[in-house]
Amino acid sequence: MSDPVKQRGAHSLSEILSQPERWNSCLARLRETRTLESALEWFGGQREWLFIGCGSSYYIALSAAATMTLLGQRRARAVPASEVLLYPDLTLVPNCVPVLISRSGRTSEVLQAAELLKSRSIPTLAISCASGQPLEELANLTIVLPAADEQSTVMTRSFSSMLLTLQSLAAAVAGNTEFPGSLSTMFTAAASALQPLPRRIQDFVAAHDFADYVCLGQGPFYGLACECALKVTEMSVSYAQSFHTLEFRHGPKSIVGPETLLTFLLSESGHDAECDALEEMKSLGATTLVVTNRASARARAAADLLVELSLDVPELARLAPYLFAGQLLGLFTGLKKGLDPDSPRNLSRVVILDKGSSPQEPEHAAL
């Protein structure tokens, strides 16, 4: 019998399936280290937050900024690190809290942004999955989540774990004491929701051949849609795009047909309008994968594959499980094409640039 660790995609699959357990470990570490309390001491009084990352870390920033605005009741934005470097006067505002996101703690553009902020005497908060890295030396305070790190090239559990941690920070900033309990409830239920998904997604992928992949979401789900599309691109070397759900009808819908897989991340807040778009695309012949908490009759009728999470927690507390389907779609699409999703071509775990900004390693979109 072959060693399962050496099978293509084995690390990625294991890391996807480990997410609920690792979420528990990461938040337990936060309680033990009292890092969130330290963050409140440093930054709790500030009204403006700026979340900064590259690739997947930028998509974490998008959903974290949405959570900080909706839950933390603070103004918040997300920008790629390159925007801070190239257009600092467009991105930096007085008295903002820059939050630097990097799985490795070594992403060159994030480090350069940290150096720029330090040169301007702007205190920074960082989050990473690796301790003792350069980002930790540059930031005033760093949240480190070693349990969330991966062996695989692409980010899966590190993405969701850092997102949940930043959501917990938003709750702490707002003084919301109920949100941590909602997360604990969600972890157990999410593990049950995840269990049947690998077989369902694998069977769905085996039964279809898609030319295009599109992931759609609104509000706090938009960053998740971007990340789901990126997983398909990275793990399967497929062409995937992401849009705000209602924006897709303004031109991009021209690609719709049976060979186009549209993944809808349906919210409760915008359910009726998003279902209008879902039904419209289905009428144009799209193949649809619908991820929702509890499906309405409309969503159920328009879905070729329906993923219901059935989580009894507030909407913002269940963002992370919406990633499961996209991660598994990328994994099994890559395996179907004979690729190794653990080590996608042209990618490395971190982009490190030399002083002339030329890549020393192959570029990787998830950091």
285: left (phi over 0), alpha (psi -120 to 50) or beta: left
C-beta neighbour count of 236 within 10 angstroms: 24
pTM, two decimal places = 0.93
Q: CA angle 100-361-109, nearest 5°?
A: 25
Cα–Cα distance list, 175 to 35, 40, 163, 168 (Å): 15, 10, 18, 10
Domains of the chain, residue spans: 4-177, 188-336
Alpha carbons within 13 angstroms on the beta-carbon side of residue 234 total 30
Q: What burial class does residue 246 get, using C-beta atoms within 10 Å of its C-beta: 0-12 exposed, 13-18 middle, 19+ buried?
A: middle
Segments of 245-300 assigned E as strands: 260-265, 287-292
**Domain 188-336: CATH class, spelled out:** alpha beta
Q: For domain 4-177, which architecture applies? A: 3-Layer(aba) Sandwich (3.40)
Beta bridge mates, 51: 78, 99
Domains 4-177 and 188-336 share a fold: yes
According to the model, what pLDDT value does residue 365 have?
Answer: 44
Q: Alpha carbon of 312 to those of 140, 258, 309: distances in Å?
A: 37, 34, 9
> If residue 48 lies in a helix (H) or strand (E), which one and from where to where?
strand 48-53
> What span, in angstroms and rounded, lies between the C-alpha atoms of 98 and 139?
10
Q: Are 138 and 152 in contact (CB under 8 A)?
A: no
Q: How far apart are CA 332 and CA 328, in angstroms?
A: 6
The DSSP output letter for 213 is E
Q: Packing angle between helix 323-336 and helix 179-194, nearest 10 degrees?
A: 30
Average pLDDT per block of 10 residues along the chain, 367 residues long:
64 97 95 95 94 98 98 96 96 94 96 97 97 96 97 96 98 95 96 97 98 97 98 96 98 96 97 98 98 98 98 97 98 97 76 53 44
* pLDDT, position 359: 38
The count of other CB atoms within 10 Å of the CB of residue 176 is: 16
Tokens representing residue 45 in the block:
């009084």
Please give the single-letter amino acid code of residue 145: L
Q: How far apart are the C-alpha atoms of 266 and 319, rounded to whole Å?
A: 11
Q: How far apart are CA 220 and CA 63, in angstroms?
A: 5
pLDDT attached to residue 352: 60
Q: What is the pLDDT of residue 3?
A: 46
In this structure, the chain runs to a length of: 367
Our CA angle for 82, 88, 92, nearest 5°, is 110
